[in-house]
């Protein structure tokens, strides 16, 4: 299964103008959404349902089985990560993301709390919440 992020956003009723003003460097019509392979998902923590890469958004098959109209918040979250990649560059994004996670874990936070505390994840959740709020 493959479709563009724009298709999921359209089906979810996400306002394209609002998305464009918040994520100006990301064109959802050019971002493919693909089913994440089993081997790729083996690298993910259990609660992860999608991962953004420069080549597209990879989504867990169980999540893709739901109606496309339910994917809006997830797509905005992942598109925010692509905007971050473009703003920071891949190496700086990785240093921030994994550095904050590891600092959280070393300070005694659980995996889940350390993951949710990563500033790039906080930003992605905030953007998705603002753009998909009705």
pLDDT of residue 67: 87
Mean pLDDT of 109-133: 95
Handedness of CA 52, 53, 56, 61 (dihedral sign): negative
Confidence of residue 44 (pLDDT cuts 50, 70, 90): very high
- 109 vs 57: CA distance, rounded Å: 28
Is residue 133 very low, low, confident or very high in pLDDT (cuts 50, 70, 90)? confident
Please list the alpha-helical segments (H only) found in 1-134. Answer: 5-12, 16-22, 38-41, 61-64, 72-88, 90-106, 111-117, 119-132
In sequence order, which residues have a C-beta less than 8 Å from that of residue 97 and are 6 or more positions away? Answer: 118, 120
Mean confidence (pLDDT) of the chain = 94
Residue spans per domain, the chain: 2-132
Q: According to the model, what pLDDT value does residue 23 have? A: 96
Which phi-psi region, left, alpha or beta, contains residue 4 (left: φ > 0; alpha: ψ -120 to 50)?
A: beta
C-alpha distances in Å from residue 42, one per residue of 45, 49, 81: 8, 12, 21
What is the per-residue pLDDT for 112? 93
Contact 115, 102 (CB under 8 A): no
In the structure encoding, which two tokens stand for residue 97, read together? 């993301």
Half-sphere exposure of 105 (CA within 13 A, CB side): 9
pLDDT bin (cut points 50, 70, 90) of residue 1 is low
Q: What is the pLDDT of residue 36?
A: 97
């Amino acid at each position: 299964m493959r479709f563009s992020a724009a298709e999921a956003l359209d089906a979810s009723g996400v306002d394209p103008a609002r998305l464009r003003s918040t994520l100006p460097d990301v064109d959802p019509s050019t971002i493919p959404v693909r089913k994440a392979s089993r081997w790729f998902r083996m690298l993910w923590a259990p609660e992860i349902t999608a991962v953004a890469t420069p080549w597209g958004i990879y989504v867990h098959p169980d999540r893709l089985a739901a109606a496309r109209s339910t994917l809006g918040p997830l797509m905005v979250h992942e598109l925010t990560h692509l905007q971050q990649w473009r703003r920071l560059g891949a190496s700086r994004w990785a240093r921030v993301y994994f550095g904050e996670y590891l600092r959280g874990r070393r300070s005694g936070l659980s995996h889940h709390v350390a993951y949710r505390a990563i500033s790039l994840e906080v930003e992605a959740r905030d953007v998705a919440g603002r753009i998909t709020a009705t």
